[in-house]
Structures are given as C-alpha cells and as structure tokens.
Amino acid sequence: VLSLQLLHMSVFSQSFSPCGRFLAAGNNYGEIAVFSLSAALSPDASEGSQKPILNFTAHDGPVFTLLSTDTHLLSAGKGEISAWSWAELIKKVSPINSRNTSTQLVTSLEIPEINAMIINPKDNSLIAGGGDNNIHIMDMETGIFKSVLKGHTDYIHCLCFKEREGEILSGGEDGAVRIWGHTEIPLCRFQTCSGMAGQECTCPQFGKWISCLATDSDWMLCGGGPLEAVFHQDLIMSVGEGPYVSHCLHGGTVKAQIPCTPSSLNTLALNLKNTEHRVMTVGGSSHQIDVFTNFSSRTFSLSF
C-alpha cells in the first residue's frame, strides 16, 4: 500500500521556515512533511538526512498551499486553513499526537479548495483565494473575516501583494488578473489570456487560466496554464507540464531547461531567508522534491 501511495503521490505546496533551515511540503494525501535543510546540506549528510524529520496528516484532502509567518506554518485544503507552530514542528513533535496546543483551526470556509494565501503586512491580515471565485480577508489577531472581494468568474489560483501601493493582485481560471485597492471593488482588470493581450499570450492547449503572479510594484508578470514561476535577479524560473525547470530571460527567451525528477511540476520555491541554506526546491508528480544549490543542476532529492 505504501509503495502505491508513493507511486501516485504529488507535491502541491512548499514553504520555508522563518529561520530558513527547514522546508515544509504538502501533498495530495493531505500530509505535511518537514525536512531539515541544515542536515540535508551538511557535509556529513546521509540518505536519512533527506527524509522528513516529521510527517503528519494535516487535512482530509490535498494540501493546496502552505504559508509561513514568523511563528506558524499555515496550511490550506478544501475549505480549511490550519496553523501549526513552527517551534513545535522543529522539535519533531507531531501536532496530531502531541498534548501541546501546537495546532489550531484558523478557519473553515465553504470553498471547494483554497489555492492561494498571502499576508498583508500593512494590517496583518490573511488573504485567501480559491474555488468560490472570491478573495477572503481575515484579521489574523481575531480570526474574523472582515471582507470578501468579488469579481472573478472562476477559481482563483494565485495572489500577490504590491507592498508600495498596498494593493492585492489576483489571477484565476477566468483568464483575468485583477488589482484590488482598499475597497471591495477592483481597481483594474486585465484579461490576459483570452486573446485581448495578443495571440502570444494565449494557451489554447491548457485553457485561459492564470496560475502564477509576481510583481515588484513597477511591473507584473503572470503565467498561464499549469505554470509556476519565481524570479531570481534577471532570470525567470518556471515549472509546469515538463520534467524541467526553465530559465527564461525577461524578453521570453528560454535560456536553459534543467532536468528534474518528477515528470511534471507543481511548485517551485526559493529560500532567501538564510544565506547558508540558499536553495531552490521543486516538487510535482513524485514523492521526491528536487533541491538545487546553484540553480543549474539538481544537487539531490528530498523524499516523503
């Protein structure tokens, strides 16, 4: 049974600990695994160093997204958001079996799936988007939802925050990117993948949906279809249907394609919290998570 579970496992989400020395990953079985990057990157690392220091079932269904705060790991599944104490996780204490209050249910929503979460640092609110086509904003101190942003006509897949302007960007399966200010009415709407932005922006083989967003306040970049992307210096690094990480220039030229273990990729993350453990990690249709120390070749793989 275990071998079949590993064979059909997919990693959907990742998040680094506040100290940057640990990585949490969520899969399609509702499990969260916590890995020690310091142990895996050590000169004395063994095969056991690439296994989780802790593995527990967090949700009944897939863990669609993970997000770290200064003290907690937030995980989201089908309408449920939970908070797990990083201090307890690092101690290798299972939050399921522990008598300590290391987990608390932040909220439960009637949403088919929660695909994206971000923190608004200006007011310490949690912003979540998912399968009800809406963006829900919750006060982190009280756990009370204070507003709902409505405008998308299909599932929301990605969120990001423009810190300088204090604006929220959202993208979804309707092919639109919306910019939200301080009201419940979007400031702007871009129909990026329906043909209005030009034929080069369409993804007819995958549909018109937007799956990733990034901004530095001066510019915005979005990816369509099953694509996840991050930015490092002058490079755009993206993953998707193929078994590789693509290095692209801002003009769209593919500079390199780096082979990966999974046959298709769902999640890509850069650890910029700790210079000693600065790595890129990639997960997808496999129980293994590839680790890159120099971005040009896979160094090793972590394994559920």
Q: Is 90 a member of any domain?
A: yes
Q: Is 49 a member of any domain?
A: yes
Q: Is 195 a member of any domain?
A: yes
Residue labelled with tokens 């209050």: 101
Please list the residues that pair with 75 across neighbouring strands.
66, 82
Structural Rg of the chain based on CA atoms? 19
Q: Is 115 a member of any domain?
A: yes
How far is 173 from 87, CA to CA, in rounded Å? Answer: 37
- Give pTM, 2 decimals: 0.86
Please report, for the domain that includes residue 1, its CATH number: 2.130.10.10
Domain housing 204 = 1-229
118-124's contacts with Cβ under 8 Å and 24+ in sequence apart are 118/67, 118/159, 118/160, 118/161, 118/168, 119/67, 119/69, 119/161, 120/161, 120/166, 120/168, 121/161, 121/163, 122/163, 122/166
Q: Is 295 a member of any domain?
A: no
Which pLDDT value is given to residue 275? 86
How far is 256 from 218, CA to CA, in rounded Å? Answer: 26
Measured CA to CA in angstroms, residue 67 lies from 9, 24, 119, 151 at distances of 21, 9, 9, 24
Q: Is 39 a member of any domain?
A: yes
Number of domains in the chain: 1
Residue labelled with tokens 């755009």: 236
Contact 269, 15 (CB under 8 A): yes
- HSE-up of 295 (CA within 13 Å, CB side)? 19
From first to last of its 304 residues, the chain has per-residue pLDDT tens of 668 888 899 999 999 999 999 999 999 999 999 999 999 999 999 999 999 999 999 999 999 999 999 999 999 999 899 999 999 999 987 676 544 434 555 667 778 899 999 999 888 899 999 999 999 999 888 888 889 999 999 999 999 998 888 889 999 988 888 989 866 655 555 554 443 344 444 455 556 778 888 887 677 777 765 555 555 556 788 888 899 999 888 777 889 999 999 999 999 999 988 888 999 999 999 999 999 998 889 999 999 9
Q: Is 291 a member of any domain?
A: no
How far is 203 from 290, CA to CA, in rounded Å? Answer: 27
Q: Is 152 a member of any domain?
A: yes
| Count of C-beta atoms within a 10 Å radius of residue 301 | 19
Contact 90, 98 (CB under 8 A): no
